[in-house]
Amino acid sequence: MRSSLHDLLPPTVRRALSKFGQDIANARRKRHLTIAMMAERMGVAPNTYRRVERGDPAVAMGAYAMALFVLGFGNALGDLIDARRDEVGLQLDEERLPQRVRVKKAPSSL
């Protein structure tokens, strides 16, 4: 049965998840690892790992993170939305800069 989450996802996100799963499958095969070996190293059932390779959006993000770790891409998830590379966020920060900076006067003591 297909999850309702799958139906809610925009087509571009579904395609991206599918490609991500296929990329994980390709990386596994390049490393000569079986599905059973991957599942064991990730600590999940083989069926769950198969769903990762299909890009199933209902699979926990932790399973995808473990797949990346097992394949040697442990830092990839942490760098995905790094604030230093967030061009839109950096542009918005720049637009919010004040035009002038005023120093508040210190209260005078009597």
Specify the CATH number for the domain of residue 22. 1.10.260.40
Q: Does residue 68 form part of some domain?
A: yes
Q: Does residue 71 form part of some domain?
A: yes
Tell me how far apart the alpha carbons of residues 50 and 56 are, in angstroms, rounded to a whole number: 9
Q: Does residue 92 form part of some domain?
A: no
- DSSP secondary structure letters along 13-65: HHHHHHHHHHHHHHHHHHTT--HHHHHHHHTS-HHHHHHHHHT-TTS-HHHHH
- Check whether 22 has a pLDDT greater than 90: yes
Question: What would the two tokens of residue 10 be?
Answer: 């925009």
pLDDT at residue 99 in the model: 84
Containing structural domain, residue 23:
4-79
Tell me how far apart the alpha carbons of residues 66 and 73 are, in angstroms, rounded to a whole number: 9
pLDDT at residue 51 in the model: 98
- Check whether 42 has a pLDDT greater than 90: yes
pLDDT digits (tens, 9 = 90+) for 53-110: 999 999 999 999 999 999 999 888 888 888 888 889 888 888 888 888 888 888 777 6
Q: Are 52 and 64 in contact (CB under 8 A)?
A: yes
